[in-house]
Each structure stands twice: as C-alpha cells, then as structure tokens.
Amino acid sequence: MKRLVIILALILSFVFGVAAANAGKIEDVKKAGVLVCGVKDSVNLFGFVDADSKELVGFDVDVCKYIADKLGVKTEFKVVTSKNRIPMLVQGSVDILAATMTHKFSRDEQIDFSITYFMDGQKLLVKNDGVVMSTADLVNKKVGTVKGSTSEKNIKNAQPKAQVISYDEYPQAFMALKQGKVKAVTTDSGILAGLKAGAEHPEDWAIVGEFFASEPYGLGVPQNDSAFRDFVNKSLNEMWIDGTYQQLFKKWMGYDLPSGWQIELWPM
C-alpha cells in the first residue's frame, strides 16, 4: 500500500509538472502582468539610452511595447548584448528578445524566432576620405565589429585577408575607428546609420560598399512554445496592417520603408 501511494504521488507530481511546463509563456506573462524584453542599449535607432530622458528608446523598444500592449501587460526592459542575449532568453531572464538579431539556423538550436520583422544587409562604416570603399580595400587592414555577431563571421568570409578586431559593443568599435585603430566598422547598415547619425560630425563618416551579407532580423522567443510564437507573429502582422510598423520605421530610420519590402503577412 505504501509503495502504491509513493507511485501515485510520483505520477501526480509528473502530471502537474508537465501541466505547469505546458502553461506557456502567454499565461506566465499575463499572470506576472509584465513582458520582460531583452534589448540593447548601445545601438542607436534600435535600442539606446535617450540623452534627455535617460530611458531606453528605439525601434526595438517600440516593437516590444506594441506586443506587450496586445497582451494587456506592461513592459520591462533588460539590457542584453550580442554575446549574452540568447543565454538570457534560454535561462528565462527575459521573455523575448528584440536585439537586432539575425535569424539563422544555428541559433534555432537554442531558441525559436518570429517572422522577419526587419530586413537589413551588412556594409562598412569608414572615414569619408575615399580610401576604403569596399571589402576589397580591407586587405591587410584592421576592421572592427562585435563579438558573437553574425557580422564577425561575415566579414571574415567576405575579406579573409582583413584583420578582424572584435569589441563588446558597436560604440567601442566606432571609437576605435575614430582613433585610427581600425580602418572600418562593419555590421548591418541600419546599425551603421545609427552610429553615423550619433557622431559629433556625421559628415566625416560614410557607409560604403555593396551589401555582402543579408541580415533578416527576428524576435527571439523561447523554444517549443508555438502559442507564444504565433501570438508574436500575429502581433507583428497587426502592427503592419494597422500602419504602426510603417510609422515606427519612419520615426526611427528617418525615411520611408524601401519600396517592395514588407513583413511576411498571414491570412487572419
């Protein structure tokens, strides 16, 4: 009898454990009343600290706020980097990542992704003196990027003879460019545009070259939670349909959406 009770207790604990595990992110977030978003604080236009309000602002920040509003909860932001963003999601420190993150298959081994919510490509930010105009001009030259980013790998493939110097964040790489320690900074053109726009003299810098790698950004979500992933995708579709996406793009990028590009729309 005692053994039977123990077995039943184990079975019930397993059943309740599975039920709790299957409760899903949507239920957890609604119960907590807050969506915890992992965003960057050093990428101008996407996620950065406003000099006046001292608050995190940017395109990624506003995307998170929209999704939280659809859930009927508040937003809480935690700063992530290219290196720690995926571990923070896997460990449950954040509920979702909006952190200029390129969706690639190797990352699918640890987390899931939303549909592409921002399409970009990789270029070079250089001194506006005509010396470096493409990756071909980086032979035996130093180029800065960020640790753990796809940009780090892409530049090595695009110009194997360049010396790649990886920094913790893009402002550090840009500072190295200003100080002459590297001849170029490379990453997604949107991030480069933010670095240039935030410089004291933007006219001193130029974004050059053809795109040498595509960078489809996805929102990072916990693995194997299709209900939450579908909710995020539906929210992104609604953001596009109601015109909020286009407004936010113009607000932060400073120009209208490129002709012919739209997010992946699903029938409602």
Residue-level pLDDT at 30: 97
**Three-state secondary structure call for residue 217:** strand
Q: Give yes or no for residue 208 having a pLDDT over 60.
A: yes
Measured CA to CA, the distance from residue 100 to residue 28 in angstroms comes to 25
Q: Are 189 and 172 in contact (CB under 8 A)?
A: no
Q: Give yes or no for residue 258 having a pLDDT over 80.
A: no
Q: How many other C-beta atoms can be found within 10 angstroms of the C-beta atom of residue 150? A: 22
Measured CA to CA, the distance from residue 103 to residue 40 in angstroms comes to 16
Measured CA to CA, the distance from residue 237 to residue 2 in angstroms comes to 56
- Indicate if 121-214 has the same CATH topology as 25-119+217-253: yes
Percent of the residues in the chain that have a pLDDT greater than 70, as a whole number: 91
Residue-level pLDDT at 41: 95
Cα torsion 41, 46, 51, 54 to 10°: value is -50
Q: Give yes or no for residue 8 having a pLDDT over 60.
A: no
| Span 228-246, average pLDDT | 97
Q: How far apart are the first and last CA of the chain?
A: 55
- Residue 98, token pair as written in the block: 């909006």
Measured CA to CA, the distance from residue 30 to residue 23 in angstroms comes to 11
Q: Give yes or no for residue 15 having a pLDDT over 70.
A: no
Residue-level pLDDT at 23: 62
Residue-level pLDDT at 265: 92
Amino acid at 52: D
Q: Give yes or no for residue 134 having a pLDDT over 80.
A: yes
Q: How many other C-beta atoms can be found within 10 angstroms of the C-beta atom of residue 147? A: 12
| Residue position matching structure tokens 């009898």 | 1
Domain ranges of the chain: 25-119+217-253, 121-214
**Three-state secondary structure call for residue 1:** coil
Phi, psi of 155 (to 5 degrees): -70, -35
Phi, psi of 144 (to 5 degrees): -100, 145
- Residue 196, token pair as written in the block: 């240039």
Fold of 25-119+217-253: D-Maltodextrin-Binding Protein; domain 2 (3.40.190)
152-165 pLDDT, tens digit each? 999 999 999 999 99
Q: Give yes or no for residue 120 having a pLDDT over 90.
A: no
Give the 3-state DSSP-derived string for 95-151, with helices as H, strands as E and coil as C. Answer: CEECCCCECCHHHHHCCEEEEEEEEEEEEEEEECCCCCCCHHHHCCCEEEEECCCHH
| Nearest by Cα to 190 from 167, 170, 162 | 170
Measured CA to CA, the distance from residue 89 to residue 160 in angstroms comes to 32
Is the domain spanning 121-214 CATH 2.30.30.240? The answer is no
Residue-level pLDDT at 215: 87
Measured CA to CA, the distance from residue 45 to residue 190 in angstroms comes to 8
Amino acid at 210: E
Mean of all residue pLDDT scores within the chain: 90
